[in-house]
Structure 1
Amino acid sequence: MTTTPERLQTPEGQTRLVQHFQERFIEDHNNGWKNLWDTDNSDMWDRGKPSPALINLLEQREDIISPVTADGRRKKVLVPGCGKGYDVVMLALHGFDVVGLELSPKGVSVAEEYARNELQAPQTHNFGSAWAKKSEPGSISFIQGDFFRSDTTKGLTFDVIYDYTFLCALHPTMRAGWAARMAELLVSGGLMVCLEFPLFKDVSLPGPPWPLKGVHWNLLAEGGDGIVYPPKENRPGGTGWFERKWYIKPETSYESGRGTDMLSVWARK
């Protein structure tokens, strides 16, 4: 039997994060996340470093994703639910222009401070063993607002979007809206990179983090609502906004993934 870290346990065995949201209406979830930031409880999801799986993808698979377009333009990346900005900074250090989106004003303030400090003296956790500096760092900016509101991004579109713990933080009834918004924000042919987590968690269990086994395929390839029970993976797609181009087992990822994380890379049709 697996358990969550002790600091996230209650005597009843439920995580503090699940308990924080279980009595809230879905319409009040945004306030729930803001409250966690305001009360210094971001440790519930904070990993303390950028994604090792994404770093390896950037450094070892430039055939999949590179920081510049064929005509030499720097690619623009969106990281929704960017937290303290770890992946935002790491992506910029690898040559992308990056926008981090966070719901909480305090979260944005924390991310901005982290970015300022990190760009002056980047820590080694921003780079992998295959790192070879090929370009100057890209730009970094942060937006505070609701991902689902079109005015939050003010008409911006992106070449790449990275999602790690954003989808799993959303109530399952919000998944179809997540997919539609991703399609709206990506340029035609743009890529969405998803570190799929948690895949070890039974789909009947509550969140956040909400279990996602089979959810990405249903949402993005099949055009479903993302509420899958039991999960069905690798069925013929075709009706969704996206085509899955790569499905990769990362060499390394966060320990919280328990060895089950997968990297999926989707192209906007």
Structure 2
Amino acid sequence: MDSLPLAPTPTRLISHFLKRPVQDHGPGWSALWDSNNSDLWDRGKPSPALIDLIEQQPLAFSPSTTDGRRKKALVPGCGRGYDVVMLALHGFDAYGLEISATAVAEARKYAAVEMSRPQEYNFDQAQSLTRDVGSATFIVGDFFESGSPRFTWLILAQFLCALHPHVRPQWAARMAQLVQPHGVLVCLEFPMYKDPLQDGPPWGVNGVHWDLLARGGDGVAGISQPPEAATDGLCGAFQRVQYFMPGRSYESGKGTDMMSVYERK
């Protein structure tokens, strides 16, 4: 009789959250920052796919509105602030939101150096550095708490994969609150290769963004949804306007990552 295959050994990151109640995941991320374990997910540079999107489509992703005002961009779960600084260097007024005070302190230190002496990895083309750079601001806070201003642009690199599947409907409803009409939500969808039913973080997101944002579904394939995950009816408030595999991405997702762009209706 053939033996059954062994279950994969949980990674350190998965083990940290495996038996932690969903409502305690926020403090769980803060604990990892406080214990100097951000290396479990830190990529050390901004998203190459996001850089290419901005630089290759300058009309669609201009940092200024038609009347000359600078667009505001939010990066929830910004970590050490790589994407926030990159967006500011491309002309946006960029805001990074983190639940961890330690993460925000690290991001502010990073930005203080990088904004004055930016490294090449912030750009695909050297001439893309604008003299009219924006600002980089970092805030300690919970993404799900109300009270934040609405944003002309809202950038999402890989935030959803860090959230337990049971809070995905609240994530979509919060996005609909934050992005003003005709504002843009950009999603780097990772990991696409992972079974959505496997433990995370990161949790698999294949098909999840579209289901939540455009279809108005729960984004939880095959997982029963608890009653407290009900939303306020704002899901389905987006339409997807672009969907493609980026030419460049982080090595861990290269060849499987997808880039999606949504417009708030």
| Residues 51, 253 of structure 1: 8 Å contact kept | yes
Q: Distance in 1 between matches of 2:129 and 2:27?
A: 41
Q: Paired residue for 2:111?
A: 115
Q: Paired residue for 1:31?
A: 27
How many angstroms does 1:68 deviate by?
0.6
Q: Distance in 2 between matches of 1:216 and 1:39?
A: 31
Using the size of structure 2 for normalisation, the TM-score is 0.90
1:182 aligns with 2:182: no
Q: Distance in 1 between matches of 2:130 and 2:140?
A: 31
Report SS of the residue matched to 1:43.
helix
Q: Distance in 1 between matches of 2:176 and 2:169?
A: 11
The AA in structure 1 aligned to 2:154 is I
| Residues 88, 94 of structure 2: 8 Å contact kept | yes
In structure 2, the gaps of 5 or more residues are: 1-6, 224-234
How many angstroms does 1:258 deviate by?
3.8
Q: Distance in 1 between matches of 2:24 and 2:11?
A: 19
2:221 paired residue among 223, 228, 238: 228
Q: Distance in 2 between matches of 1:87 and 1:244?
A: 22
The AA in structure 2 aligned to 1:159 is T
The number of residue pairs the alignment matches comes to 248
Map Cα deviations across residues 213-254 of structure 1 (whole Å, 9 max, x no partner): 010111011001111249xxxxxxxx7110000112101100
The AA in structure 2 aligned to 1:175 is R
Report SS of the residue matched to 2:152.
strand
Instruction: Please give the residue correspondences for 1:211-222 in structure 2 after superposition, counting only pairs within 5 Å.
Output: 211-222=204-215
| Residues 60, 130 of structure 1: 8 Å contact kept | no
Q: Distance in 2 between matches of 1:44 and 1:212?
A: 19
2:260 paired residue among 250, 264, 267: 264
Q: Distance in 1 between matches of 2:134 and 2:236?
A: 32
Report SS of the residue matched to 2:212.
helix
In structure 1, the gaps of 5 or more residues are: 1-10, 231-238
Q: Distance in 1 between matches of 2:115 and 2:255?
A: 31
1:72 aligns with 2:68: yes
How many angstroms does 1:13 deviate by?
2.6
Show structure 1 runs of 4+ deviating over 3 A. none
Instruction: Please give the residue correspondences for 1:17-96 in structure 2 after superposition, counting only pairs within 5 Å.
Output: 17-96=13-92
1:99 paired residue among 95, 98, 101: 95
Q: Distance in 2 between matches of 1:130 and 1:216?
A: 32
**Aligned sequence identity (%):** 56
1:165 aligns with 2:165: no
Using the size of structure 1 for normalisation, the TM-score is 0.89
Map Cα deviations across residues 67-86 of structure 1 (whole Å, 9 max, x no partner): 11111111000000000000
Classify 1:131/1:243 alpha carbon distance in 2 versus 1 (closer, same or farther; 3 Å): farther
What's the C-alpha RMSD, in Å, of the aligned pairs? 1.6
Q: Paired residue for 1:6?
A: none
